[in-house]
Structure formats: structure tokens, C-alpha cells
């Protein structure tokens, strides 16, 4: 039945084409359309150059976006203007102009749809939306929308107790493209507003953005399934089985997802924190659903699973405050004046820009060593993300410099070797 209907539709269409091409008035209109496109193709580069120069003079992101959307349809807009002029001339002479009218309507719909989708977001989804909307508009303009829908509805097959037709599938595809485009656009807009908000902490921003995206995607899936005529309750058993499979097969993945939510809620680790996990020390760059990105001082990026941040010991150098106290041992000779040496060490540490003046650096005597008097220099910094080893090195260099200028002895281990001569006993 379907093959006979397809053959009938094709024969009717072919007969209409052959009959139309045999009429001079139809050929004149088709020729006018082809010539109009050729003129638009020739004129467009010259006009486009002038429009590009004009666009460079436009200020403001909003007006620049409008100009980009309008100027992107230069060729079809010029073609449309030419076709309107030809259509007005033919209608003025009283000749038929049905094909030209349809062409102008199709071009108008394409220009309007393209500008609208370009203004929203120029992505692959936007192009798919523009194509779907234009195809529907085109079928409606030429009067084939209702016959096409009836034909797609007639192409049906049974899947269990459910009757599925090509019309339902087509509706599902079109609805999914439009719904996902709208919802993803709303998600991007909302996330941008959230990340710009200064009232929210970075962890709350990430959590809200992810919850909104997941919620919108889930809502989009439900809308598409409902629009396609699929009974959502039929997925109850499937979702239960899927839950069991997730519990066993995707245990680690789910654990990382839940751990990520916990980290975002308790704010123990957030983007920008300086943390140390095992042998990894660096700044938290971002937090995802499965892992946290930590960038070290060597610009190496470690992807640490969220579960490890929950179960392992983590040193957060900037949890409640970014102020960090560093310690470095110093040894001086026994012949030095220790109070003066302590003041010199504190002055050397205070001379570094990254070392905080409050609390001030402190140098303490820790004990008597084998070869030196052991001191410990303590100082504070407020930017651990800039590195701790480098500032410790700078402080030690400053200490060495000030000790050398003031003749402070920095000893090193020495060992005395004594050789005792032993007389060899005489043998008889």
C-alpha cells in the first residue's frame, strides 16, 4: 500500500513538473529566478565589503550582534529584493506570477528565521532549528504541509502494544532539536549570570550551574518523549533495572558524582583553593562532576577523582584563610652573637615583598647541634598559590647575604681524624 502511494505521489509530481515546463509563463518565471540569483551572486561581494567596513564602526556588543545577524544574510536578502522587483513588474503587466510569489515567500521565511537564530546563538543547534523551521514553513507555503503530515502518519509500524509512525518520529526529532536548543541556551545564559554573581561562593556557583543544567536536560528529555507519544510510565521497569546496573557496574562513577556534590555543599574544597593531596600540590582550577582539576606550579594538571578528596587526607592551604606560615632551619657557629643573628635573620625575611609584615617574621633558637647552633626562621605569606618553595629560597638567599655582610659564620660538619701509631711486637 505504501509503495503504491509513493509511486502515485511521484507520478503526480513528475506530471506537474513536465506540464509546468511546457508553459512559457512558467519558464519565464524560472528564468527570472535564476537570473536574479546570478545578479545577487555578482553584487553581493561589493556590498559585503561596504557592510564589513560599516560593521567595524559599530560600537556596543548588542548593536554589533544585530549587525552581524543582519549582514550574514546579505546574499539571500539581495536575491529577495531582486525577486520582489521582478514580481512587482510581472504583476503590473497582469501575467501569472505564482512561482515568483512562492520563491519570495520562501526567501522571506529563510531570511527572518536565519536572523532570529543567529541572534540567539550561532551554533550547530541553531542551524538545525533554522533548517527544521524553514522546511515546515516551506511546506506550508507551497500547500504541502497537510499532505506530508498525512503521508508520514500512514507510514506506521507496531512495537509491542505501541503504534509508532514516521510522523511521531519526525515530531520527536524536530521537537528534540528545538527543545534542546532552547534549554541549552537558557542553561548557558543562567550559568553566565551565576558565575558573574559576586554574592555566591565559587563552590555554590559550580553546584547551581550543574544542577540547573542537569534539571533542564532532564526536563527536555521528558518533553521530547511526551511530544513523541511515548508512554513515560513504560520506562519505570527499565529505570529500576538501570538503577541496579548503576549500583553495581558504575559504583565508582556514582561515588565520584556524589562526592562532588558533597564537596560543593560543604565548601571544604572550592575552585581557587591551594591543596595538597599525597604528592600533588597545586591550585584547584575547576571542579567537575567526576574529578577536580588541580594545576601545579609546573603547569601540570592533575585530574583527582572526587572520591579521593573525600576519603584521603587533604591539606587545604587556603581553607579558612590564605595566610600560611613557613618554616626553614638555619645553623650558625658557636662563636656568633645569637641575639644579633636572630635580628639579622628576621630583617632578611622581612625584606621580601611576599613576606607579611603582620604577623612579623620570627626566628627562634631550637637547640645545640653537633656543629652549629640550630635556629628556625618562621614567616607568613598570603599567596600560597604563587608557590612556597620559591619564597623560601628567596628568604634563605637574603639570610645568606646579610650573614655574609655581617661576618656571621655558617658552619658545616667537620670531623677530626686521629692516627695512632701502634708498635709492632717483636717476634723471636
CATH number of 391's domain = 3.30.70.100
C-beta atoms surrounding 317 within 10 Å:
18
Q: For position 300, what pLDDT does the model report? A: 87
Q: Are 310 and 338 members of one domain?
A: no
- Is residue 55, in this structure, part of any structural domain at all? yes
- Candidate from 147-151, 216-220, 247-251 with smallest mean pLDDT: 247-251
Give the tens place of pLDDT for each residue, 26-52. 777 778 878 888 888 888 887 877 777
Residue pair 111/140 in contact (Cβ under 8 Å)? The answer is no
Q: For position 263, what pLDDT does the model report? A: 80
- Is residue 351, in this structure, part of any structural domain at all? yes
Residue 213 has pLDDT above 90, yes or no: no
Q: For position 23, what pLDDT does the model report? A: 65
Q: For position 199, what pLDDT does the model report? A: 64
Q: What CA–CA distances, in Å, run from 19 to 12, 24, 384, 396, 425?
A: 11, 11, 82, 96, 137
- Is residue 312, in this structure, part of any structural domain at all? yes
Q: For position 10, what pLDDT does the model report? A: 59
- Is residue 415, in this structure, part of any structural domain at all? no
> Residue 385's domain spans which residues?
324-405
Local structure of 23: helix, strand or coil: coil
C-alpha cell at 58: 559599530
Q: Are 40 and 99 members of one domain?
A: yes
Q: Are strands 373-381 and 362-368 parallel, antiparallel or unpaired?
A: antiparallel
Q: Are 9 and 111 members of one domain?
A: yes
Q: Are 183 and 292 members of one domain?
A: no
Q: Are 36 and 86 members of one domain?
A: yes
- Candidate from 79-88, 104-113, 168-177, 235-244 with smallest mean pLDDT: 235-244
- Is residue 293, in this structure, part of any structural domain at all? yes
Q: Please report, for the domain that includes residue 291, its CATH number.
A: 2.30.30.60
Average pLDDT over every residue of 112-124: 70
Q: Are 8 and 116 members of one domain?
A: yes
Q: Are 37 and 103 members of one domain?
A: yes
What average pLDDT is seen over the chain?
A: 77
- Is residue 203, in this structure, part of any structural domain at all? yes
Q: Are 16 and 109 members of one domain?
A: yes
Compute the residue count for the chain. 428
Q: List Cβ neighbours of 300 (8 Å cut-off, separation of 6 or more).
A: 282
Q: For position 290, what pLDDT does the model report? A: 80
Q: Are 71 and 48 members of one domain?
A: yes
Q: Are 20 and 91 members of one domain?
A: yes
Domain count, the chain: 4
Find out whether the peptide bond into 71 is cis, omega within 30 degrees of 0: no
Give the tens place of pLDDT for each residue, 352-373. 999 999 889 999 999 998 888 9
Q: For position 349, what pLDDT does the model report? A: 93
Bridge partners (DSSP) listed for residue 302: 294
Out of 91-100, 308-317, 410-419, the most confident range is 308-317
- Is residue 133, in this structure, part of any structural domain at all? no
pLDDT cut 70: percent of the chain above it: 79
- Is residue 86, in this structure, part of any structural domain at all? yes
What is the DSSP track for 81-93? HHHHHHHHHHHHH
Q: Are 25 and 98 members of one domain?
A: yes
Phi, psi torsion values for 319, nearest 5 degrees: -65, -65
- Candidate from 54-68, 281-295, 340-354, 355-369 with smallest mean pLDDT: 54-68
C-alpha cell at 382: 598570603
Local structure of 335: helix, strand or coil: coil
Residue pair 345/384 in contact (Cβ under 8 Å)? The answer is no
Give the tens place of pLDDT for each residue, 272-289. 888 888 888 888 888 877
Q: Are 7 and 73 members of one domain?
A: yes
Cα 205 to the center of its chain, rounded Å: 14
Amino acid at each position: 500500500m505504501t509503495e503504491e502511494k509513493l509511486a502515485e505521489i511521484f507520478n503526480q509530481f513528475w506530471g506537474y513538473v513536465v506540464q509546468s515546463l511546457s508553459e512559457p509563463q512558467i519558464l519565464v518565471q524560472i528564468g527570472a529566478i535564476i537570473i536574479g540569483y546570478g545578479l545577487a551572486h555578482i553584487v553581493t561581494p561589493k556590498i559585503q565589503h561596504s557592510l564589513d567596513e560599516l560593521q567595524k564602526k559599530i560600537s556596543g556588543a548588542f548593536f554589533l550582534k544585530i549587525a552581524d545577524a543582519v549582514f550574514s544574510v546579505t546574499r539571500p536578502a539581495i536575491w529577495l529584493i531582486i525577486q520582489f522587483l521582478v514580481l512587482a513588474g510581472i504583476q503590473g503587466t497582469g501575467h501569472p506570477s505564482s512561482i515568483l510569489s512562492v520563491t519570495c515567500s520562501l526567501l522571506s521565511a529563510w531570511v527572518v528565521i536565519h536572523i532570529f537564530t543567529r541572534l540567539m546563538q550561532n551554533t550547530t543547534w541553531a542551524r538545525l532549528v533554522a533548517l527544521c523551521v524553514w522546511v515546515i514553513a516551506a511546506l506550508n507555503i507551497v500547500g504541502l504541509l497537510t499532505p506530508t503530515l498525512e503521508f508520514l502518519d500512514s507510514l506506521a509500524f507496531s512495537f509491542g502494544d505501541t503504534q509508532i509512525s514516521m510522523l511521531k518520529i519526525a515530531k520527536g526529532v524536530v521537537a528534540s532539536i528545538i527543545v534542546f536548543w532552547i534549554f541549552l541556551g537558557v542553561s548557558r545564559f543562567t550559568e553566565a549570570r551565576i558565575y558573574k554573581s559576586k554574592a555566591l561562593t565559587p563552590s555554590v556557583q559550580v553546584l547551581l550551574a550543574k544542577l540547573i543544567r542537569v534539571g533542564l536536560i532532564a526536563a527536555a528529555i521528558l518533553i521530547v518523549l511526551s511530544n513523541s507519544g511515548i508512554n513515560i510510565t513504560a520506562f519505570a521497569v527499565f529505570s529500576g533495572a538501570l538503577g541496579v546496573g548503576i549500583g553495581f557496574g558504575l559504583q565508582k562513577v556514582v561515588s565520584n558524582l556524589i562526592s562532588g556534590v558533597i564537596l560543593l555543599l560543604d565548601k571544604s574544597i572550592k575552585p581557587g583553593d591551594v591543596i595538597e593531596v599525597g604528592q600533588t600540590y597545586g591550585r584547584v582550577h575547576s571542579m567537575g562532576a567526576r574529578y577536580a582539576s588541580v594545576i601545579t606550579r609546573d603547569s601540570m594538571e592533575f585530574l583527582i577523582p572526587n572520591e579521593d578528596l573525600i576519603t584521603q587526607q587533604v591539606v587545604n592551604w587556603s581553607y579558612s584563610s590564605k595566610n600560611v606560615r613557613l618554616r626553614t632551619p638555619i645553623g650558625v657557629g658557636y662563636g656568633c652573637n645569637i641575639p644579633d643573628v636572630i635580628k639579622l635573620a628576621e630583617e632578611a625575611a622581612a625584606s621580601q615583598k611576599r613576606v607579611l609584615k603582620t604577623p612579623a617574621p620570627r626566628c627562634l633558637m631550637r637547640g645545640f647541634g653537633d656543629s652549629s647552633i640550630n635556629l628556625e626562621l618562621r614567616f607568613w605569606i598570603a599567596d600560597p598559590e604563587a608557590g612556597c618553595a620559591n619564597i623560601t629560597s628567596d628568604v634563605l638567599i637574603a639570610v645568606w647575604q646579610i650573614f655574609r655582610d655581617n661576618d656571621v659564620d655558617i658552619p658545616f660538619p667537620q670531623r677530626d681524624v686521629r692516627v695512632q701509631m701502634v708498635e709492632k711486637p717483636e717476634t723471636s
